[in-house]
Structure formats: C-alpha cells, structure tokens
C-alpha cells in the first residue's frame, strides 16, 4: 500500500512539473511582416466639399492595402450648410459614413450644437467615438469608449482618445460654450492617461495609437502632443488635432502627425509592422485642392447639401477685404447698434473668418460667427467693466468706448475722449459665450435676447446699415 502511494506521489509530481513547464511556455512570436495605411484628418470644422476627393483616394488605397480612417476631433462648427442643417452636423456624419471612417475622438467643438444634437450624431455614426477623459453619466449623451481596437485582417490597432480641457479658468471643460456641457464631467488628460499604459499588452495589439485633440506643443501647464510623447511613452504614434497645424515630427522616438484643418489636406500614414513594432513609416500630406479626381456619387450628395438658396441672400456690401481684426471692429459695432447698448465686446476666437470685398451673403456672416451663441445684455458699472478687462486674462474687440492701459490700471473713456467715472452705469451687450466663460465678472440678472450673435449681425445689415468699410482696426484690448 505504501509503495502504491509512493508511486502515485511521484507520478503526481512529474505531472505537475510538466504542467508548470507547459504554462511557462510563451506563445509563439508572430514575426509576420504586415502593412497598413492610416488616413487621418483633424479640425475639419464642417467643411464637406473635399469629401468626394477623400473617398476616391481612400477607395483606391483599399484596393491595394488594409486601411483605417480616423478623425482627431473638431468635426463640427464652421460651415453654415452643416451648422444650420435641420439635423445640425448630420451632412458631415453622412459623408464620413460613406467614406468609411473607423474612429473619431471628441474635439472641443463637438459640443457646440448641444448634447442632444451630439447624441443624435453619435448614434447615426457607423464609426466609433473615443475619449478617455470624459464621463457622460447622468447626461443624455452616450459614454464614448475610452479606447477601441480595430482589426483589419491580421492587424489589430488600438486607439486611445483624449480631448483638451482648457476652456475655462475655474473649471475642467473643453473650449466650448460652458452652458452646453454642464451635465458632463471632464478630467485633465494628465490625470487619466497613465491608467491606460498597459492597453497594448492587454489588447494584444500590433499598434497603440493616441488619437489626441490636445493640441501640438502644449506648455508647462497644458498637456500637448509633445508632452504626451515625452511623459507617457506608451504609444507607437500620435495622431493629433486642435492646433490646426501641419505636423510631421518625432518626439522621444514617437512619430506625431497633424494635417492642418478645414479638410484642405488628408494625412496618409503608410506603416510596415513586425513583432508589434513599426519597422518603417512614411507620412504624406495630400493637398486636396490639387486633386482632380473624385467620387462622382459623393460629389452629387455634397452638391445637394450645398444647395441652400437662403445662404446666398445678399444682405450688404463690403467695400474692401476685411481681415479678422477688421471684422472684429465691424462685429462689435453691428452688435452694439442692433442691441441698442452703450458698448459691446467680442472674443477674438469668436471671429472665425475674414470678409471679402463685394456683396455680403448670409453664408459669410454664419462663417464669421458659426457657433450659434446667444446674445445677452447687462447693466454694469465702469468699475466692474474695468475689473473684467483687467483680471479676465483675455482679449476682446470692443465698440462704443475707448480703452487704454496706464500701468496696471484700465482707463475707459467715451467716444468724445472724456474719462468715465467708476460709478457710471453702462449697458453692455455681447455673445453669451463670454458671459459663460467669465461668469464671475458678470451679474446674474443679464437679459437674454431672442437672436443669436450671427442673426443679430444679419438683422443689422438688413435693417440698419448694409455698408461695411473698416480701413483700420484699432479696437482690441488685452491687459499687458
């Protein structure tokens, strides 16, 4: 009996040793050489005219290679055809579906139409949305994926999405209208990115890519793509957006790409992959304005979307080409006079287009001011207005007063050059984005108006003064 027990224990030991040995064997290494093409865009801002060329180029590449198509954010805001569509933003989603996009990260301007519109556009998308530093629980917006893995035959690529959160000094939100993201929680990207350091191994992916809407270089306090490459070297490459730059550089051995903006260019990244590493990479920035071939079916769809006669209505005349700064002076004059207030402000980032010489159409005004911001009127003392200008840290075009700086004090005069006492009460009109971003400087009893800023300017041109002529632009103030 004892001998039988002895032999049984010996057999069990041998079996266990063999089992442990088998468990310790590493899976066979797949050293297959793989090729992949990634097409990328960023900061499209609702420009759709070149999508027929994009589809032609990508379809042609699909005949020869495995293809993934991605967006690095800011798909919306900038084209009246898309921004004013009955389903705001839908023409862009429709065209991206037809092109065959695989994944898009949220950009700050994805929130411009409000959460209900974004929810509907996300649900209509045939591609995945990713963003690791947003939490939509408690809102109507579906939670985007933190990351997604996309497989094309024998190639698996994982994309992590990130969005910038520098929209408000005392809050962690993207650069969009604060009132439109009140139900959403955002995290600083640097507070979450390390949570995804092992995703490539966990997903057993060939490549791990950061699909970033953080901006190009960043600062000591703001994370940009360069800082991601230096501080979080988990990624095989970074595809970025937000800064509208054309980027092709390598930082800390991580390639970083960005394709400008407004769908003027299409990025083409050709990759050779072996043993889960990039062995060869080539980046081409395709100038779409120089491309003559296009997909005719897609072109017909775009032409149908662009057929909006009301946008071609002539409402005024520009006597010269006006740069954005000159448009800022026109904008504030028009808003002040249309709202019938003493002064008006406009943030420089809210002027999105210049104004050509000749007839002014409604389309041009919507291009200048695409965000559908409301308008609001406050009654404020000169003292409080000076505090806003001094302490907000931002710069503004203005109308109705004269502003200058003396040491660390702000001087406000009327249009006749008379210094206004601090206790003077003025009626201030502006877009409500400024009020939302800098809410601590404004009273709670602002009077909301029934027109957006763009609608107010269109009314001004149609009803008060159709002539625009600003040879100079000297009405911009930012505290130094």
* Last-in-domain residue among 251, 276, 306: 306
* Contact (Cβ atoms closer than 8 angstroms) between residue 132 and residue 147: yes
Q: How far apart are the first and last CA of the chain?
A: 96
Mean pLDDT, to the nearest integer, of 228-255? 97
> From CA 428, how far away is CA 342, in angstroms rounded?
6
Q: 149 CB contacts (<8 Å, ≥6 apart)? A: 156, 157, 158, 159, 203, 205
In this prediction, what percent of the chain has a pLDDT beyond 70? 94
Q: 393 CB contacts (<8 Å, ≥6 apart)? A: 169, 479
- Residue 179 CB: number of other CB atoms within 10 A? 15
Q: 384 CB contacts (<8 Å, ≥6 apart)? A: 441
Regarding whether 138 and 93 lie in a shared domain, the answer is yes
Residue 28 — pLDDT band, cuts 50, 70, 90? Answer: low
Q: Average the pLDDT over each of 27-36, 324-333, 392-401, 451-460 and give the range with the smallest value.
A: 27-36
pLDDT of 145 above 70: yes
By DSSP bridging, strand 467-468 and strand 314-318 are parallel
Judged by DSSP in three states, 415 sits in coil
Q: 84 CB contacts (<8 Å, ≥6 apart)? A: 308, 311, 366
pLDDT of 2 above 90: no
pLDDT score for 220 = 81
> From CA 228, how far away is CA 161, in angstroms rounded?
12
CATH code of the domain covering residue 368: 3.90.780.10
pLDDT score for 219 = 87
pLDDT score for 215 = 97
- Residue 70 is encoded by which pair of tokens? 């991605």
Q: 397 CB contacts (<8 Å, ≥6 apart)? A: 325, 328, 329, 331, 332, 345, 346, 348, 351, 475, 476
> From CA 373, how far away is CA 361, in angstroms rounded?
19
Global confidence as pTM: 0.89
Cα–Cα nearest to 65, from 26, 38, 96: 38
Regarding whether 317 and 287 lie in a shared domain, the answer is no
Regarding whether 325 and 290 lie in a shared domain, the answer is no
* Contact (Cβ atoms closer than 8 angstroms) between residue 437 and residue 178: yes
> From CA 24, how far away is CA 18, in angstroms rounded?
10
Q: Which helix (H) or strand (E) holds 303?
A: helix 296-306
Residue range 300-347, pLDDT digits in tens? 999 999 999 999 999 999 999 999 999 999 999 999 999 999 999 999
* Contact (Cβ atoms closer than 8 angstroms) between residue 135 and residue 184: yes
* Contact (Cβ atoms closer than 8 angstroms) between residue 186 and residue 234: no
DSSP 196: G
How big is the chain, counted in residues? 480
pLDDT score for 323 = 97
Residue range 156-199, pLDDT digits in tens? 999 999 999 999 988 999 999 999 999 999 999 999 999 999 99
Residue 372 belongs to domain spanning:
312-477
Gyration radius of the chain's alpha carbons: 27
In a domain, 114, yes or no: yes
Name which residue leads in pLDDT, 51 or 13: 51
Regarding whether 335 and 263 lie in a shared domain, the answer is no
* Last-in-domain residue among 306, 340, 355: 306
pLDDT of 13 above 50: no
pLDDT score for 24 = 46
- Residue 30 CB: number of other CB atoms within 10 A? 11
In a domain, 17, yes or no: no
Mean pLDDT, to the nearest integer, of 392-406? 97
Regarding whether 428 and 398 lie in a shared domain, the answer is yes
In a domain, 14, yes or no: no
In a domain, 454, yes or no: yes
> From CA 225, how far away is CA 218, in angstroms rounded?
7
- The total domain count for the chain is 2
Residue 20 — pLDDT band, cuts 50, 70, 90? Answer: very low
Mean pLDDT, to the nearest integer, of 13-21? 43
* Contact (Cβ atoms closer than 8 angstroms) between residue 283 and residue 248: yes
pLDDT of 4 above 80: no
In sequence order, the β-bridge partners of residue 281 are 271
* Contact (Cβ atoms closer than 8 angstroms) between residue 386 and residue 322: no
Cα–Cα nearest to 329, from 399, 432, 377: 399
Residue range 228-240, pLDDT digits in tens? 999 999 999 999 9
Cα–Cα nearest to 147, from 95, 75, 197: 197
- The angle formed by the CA atoms of residues 127, 131 and 135, to the nearest 5 degrees, is 120
- Residue 346 is encoded by which pair of tokens? 């406009």
In a domain, 13, yes or no: no
In a domain, 129, yes or no: yes
In a domain, 320, yes or no: yes
Regarding whether 376 and 298 lie in a shared domain, the answer is no
Residue range 257-296, pLDDT digits in tens? 999 999 999 999 999 999 999 999 999 999 999 999 999 9
Regarding whether 279 and 369 lie in a shared domain, the answer is no
* Last-in-domain residue among 287, 306, 325: 306
- Residue 123 CB: number of other CB atoms within 10 A? 9
Average pLDDT score, the chain: 94
- The angle formed by the CA atoms of residues 36, 39 and 41, to the nearest 5 degrees, is 155
In this prediction, what percent of the chain has a pLDDT beyond 90? 91
In a domain, 281, yes or no: yes
CATH code of the domain covering residue 275: 3.60.21.10
Residue 104 — pLDDT band, cuts 50, 70, 90? Answer: very high
pLDDT of 1 above 50: no
pLDDT of 77 above 90: yes
């Amino acid at each position: 009996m004892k001998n039988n027990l002895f032999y049984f224990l010996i057999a069990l030991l041998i079996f266990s040793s063999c089992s442990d040995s088998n468990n310790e064997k590493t899976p066979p290494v797949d050293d297959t050489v793989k090729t992949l093409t990634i097409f990328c865009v960023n900061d499209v801002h609702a420009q759709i005219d070149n999508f027929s060329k994009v589809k032609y180029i990508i379809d042609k590449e699909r005949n020869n290679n495995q293809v993934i198509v991605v967006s690095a954010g800011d798909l919306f805001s900038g084209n009246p055809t898309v921004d004013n569509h009955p389903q705001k933003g839908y023409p862009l989603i429709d065209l991206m579906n037809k092109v065959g996009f695989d994944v898009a990260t949220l950009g700050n301007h994805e929130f411009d139409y409000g959460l209900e519109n974004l929810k509907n556009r996300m649900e209509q998308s045939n591609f995945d949305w990713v963003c690791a530093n947003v939490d939509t629980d408690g809102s109507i917006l579906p939670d985007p994926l933190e990351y997604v893995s996309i497989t094309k035959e024998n190639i698996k690529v994982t994309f992590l999405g990130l969005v910038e959160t520098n929209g408000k000094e005392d809050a962690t939100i993207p650069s969009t209208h604060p009132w439109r993201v009140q139900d959403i929680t955002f995290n600083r990207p640097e507070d979450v990115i390390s949570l995804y350091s092992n995703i490539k191994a966990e997903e057993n992916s060939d490549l791990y890519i950061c699909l970033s809407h953080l901006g190009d270089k960043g600062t000591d306090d703001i994370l940009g793509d360069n800082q991601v490459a230096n501080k979080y070297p988990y990624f095989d490459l970074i595809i970025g957006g937000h800064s509208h730059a054309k980027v092709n550089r390598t930082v800390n051995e991580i390639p970083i790409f960005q394709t400008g903006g407004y769908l003027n260019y299409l990025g083409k990244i050709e990759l050779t992959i072996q043993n889960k590493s990039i062995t060869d990479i080539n980046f081409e920035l395709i100038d779409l304005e120089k491309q003559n071939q296009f997909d005719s079916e897609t072109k017909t769809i775009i032409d149908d979307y662009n057929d909006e006669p009301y946008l071609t209505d002539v409402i005024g005349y520009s006597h010269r080409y006006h740069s954005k700064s000159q448009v800022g002076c026109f904008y504030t004059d028009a808003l002040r006079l249309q709202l019938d207030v003493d002064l008006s402000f406009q943030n420089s980032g809210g002027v999105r287009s210049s104004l050509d010489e000749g007839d002014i159409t409604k389309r041009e005004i919507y291009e200048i001011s695409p965000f559908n911001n409301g308008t609001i009127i406050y009654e404020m003392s000169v003292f409080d207005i000076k505090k806003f200008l001094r302490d907000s840290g931002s710069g503004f075009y203005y109308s109705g007063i004269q502003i200058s700086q003396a040491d660390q004090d702000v001087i406000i005069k009327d249009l006749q050059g008379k210094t206004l006492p601090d206790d003077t009460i003025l009626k201030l009109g502006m877009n409500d984005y400024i009020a939302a971003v800098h809410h601590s400087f404004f009273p709670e009893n602002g009077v909301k108006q029934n027109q957006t800023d763009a609608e107010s300017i269109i009314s001004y041109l149609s009803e008060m003064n159709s002539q625009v002529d600003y040879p100079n632009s000297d009405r911009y103030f930012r505290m130094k």
